[in-house]
Structure formats: C-alpha cells, structure tokens
Amino acid sequence: MSANIWTPQAPAIITPWKWLANFATAGKGVVTDTGKRGVGSGGKAKAFDSAGECAECCRGCAVGNSCSLCTDVTPSSVNVLVSGLTICPPCTTVSLGYATITENVGFSVNDIFTLPQRGSGLLACQYLLKVPNAVSFTVYSDAACTTVSSSGNSALQILFRSTSLSQVDHWELNVQFTDIPGASYLMYDVQPIIVDGMGNKLCSTFPVLSNQLTTCGNVDIVGFGASIGTGGGATVSCVKA
C-alpha cells in the first residue's frame, strides 16, 4: 500500500505591483478596524463604510462631468419624482391678472422626470429639463375672469442645481411654467448637500425636498411672478449606469 506523502509548497508571493493592480480596481479595498479604504474608478482613494459600501462603487450612478462641489461622483443625469403638488384653482391672482391653468392630455406635474446634466464647469452642477406644451392657460384681466388678455400653451421647466448660501453648499429645486404671463413657480426648495461622517459632500445621494410655496397667487419667495402651485415635494436620485 502506497503512503500519501505531503510535499511542502512554497508560499505564494504577492509582488508589490500585483498588490497595487488588485487595489487599483474600483471597489477593491483593504479592511481596517473602522471600515475600508479603496480606489474609485478615477484612480483616487475612496472611503468605504463599515459595511464595505462607498458612494461611487455601490450606488452605480452613471457618471457625468465633475462638479467642483462633489467629493464623490457627479451623476450624468438625475430623476426627480414630484408628488403631492397641486396646481392653483381657476382664476388665481397672478402678477398680470388672473390665470386658469389646465394640464394637457398625457401630462401631469406629479410624475418622474429625468434631468440631464447641463454641461461642464459650473454647468456640471446643474440639471435641467424642459417639457414643451405641458399645460394650457388663459390669463384674464378682470377678477370675474371674463375678459381674456392672453392664452396658449406653456412648457414646464425643472431646474435642480447646487449653490452656496451663507457659505453652505445646497441643492436648489425650481419647478415652473415658463410661458404664462405674470405666473411662475409651482415648487421651490433649498436643502443642504448631504455630508458624510468623513466630511465628504455627496452628489450621488440627495436630500428630500418639500415645497416652500404654500399660498396661491402670492409673489413667490424667489421673487419671479406669482406662485401657481402649492404643497407636495420631490425626491431625487441618480440615473443608474
């Protein structure tokens, strides 16, 4: 009967360049007591949490041009889900008269909208969508709403951008109709950019937004025309790769 003979094997040698090659792959990391540190797709070190997740490696956002305010990735486009928003009732007071607004067939202000990045440089921190012929409108010159001064169709415009207020970086959301004389915003809000425990400004995770416009017909808080929408809010997420 033959005996099983164990032959000693030389230990595997990991060369420095092989170790670096492994580490240089997005999502690879070295475990530490408090979490992980790895390399992102751009070759830069990224912070991982204790669960092994990082903003770039695990959220899967389609990456766009870099915004200077973002520590993690800058998405190439975002989804804005509007809900609970109410268009003001017929004959609402606006800056140039009284307006009645009706959603056109196939359009709703409460929907999900995909906003592409506007460009590079300063425009990399902005996302914009314009939906043509979203609503029909009639503006009257009298409070009884019997004398028409203008009418037509208006586009809906959604602008989501990062900005700085009082030295704090924020996200700002503007939802408005662009073609109604004397009327403007449906929704407006400003919320701070989310910062993680390591001080990173996250542009792949967004704050929940709530409409600051609460009264129909008032000159809105950003000072452009009368508010023609109230209530509701929006959630924003990056478009996945």
- Whether 190 and 104 share a structural domain: yes
Average pLDDT over residues 198-216: 92
pLDDT tens digits, residue range 82-96? 999 999 999 998 888
- Whether 52 and 142 share a structural domain: no
Answer whether residue 142 shows pLDDT above 90: yes
Residue 141 is encoded by which pair of tokens?
């010159």
- Whether 159 and 206 share a structural domain: yes
Burial grade of 47 (CB within 10 A; 0-12, 13-18, 19 or more)? buried
pTM equals: 0.75
User: By residue range, what is the domain housing residue 94?
Assistant: 77-238
Residue listed under structure tokens 């992980």: 36
- Whether 24 and 136 share a structural domain: no
Average pLDDT over residues 114-134: 95
- Whether 91 and 29 share a structural domain: no
- Whether 160 and 51 share a structural domain: no
Average pLDDT over residues 27-41: 45
- Whether 123 and 196 share a structural domain: yes
**Number of folded domains that form the chain:** 2
- Whether 26 and 99 share a structural domain: no
Q: How much of the chain, in percent, has pLDDT values that exceed 70?
A: 71
The residue type at 165 = L
- Whether 110 and 137 share a structural domain: yes
- Whether 104 and 161 share a structural domain: yes
- Whether 134 and 173 share a structural domain: yes
The pLDDT of residue 182 is 81
Residue 100 is encoded by which pair of tokens?
């009645």
The pLDDT of residue 27 is 42
d(CA 96, CA 226): 9
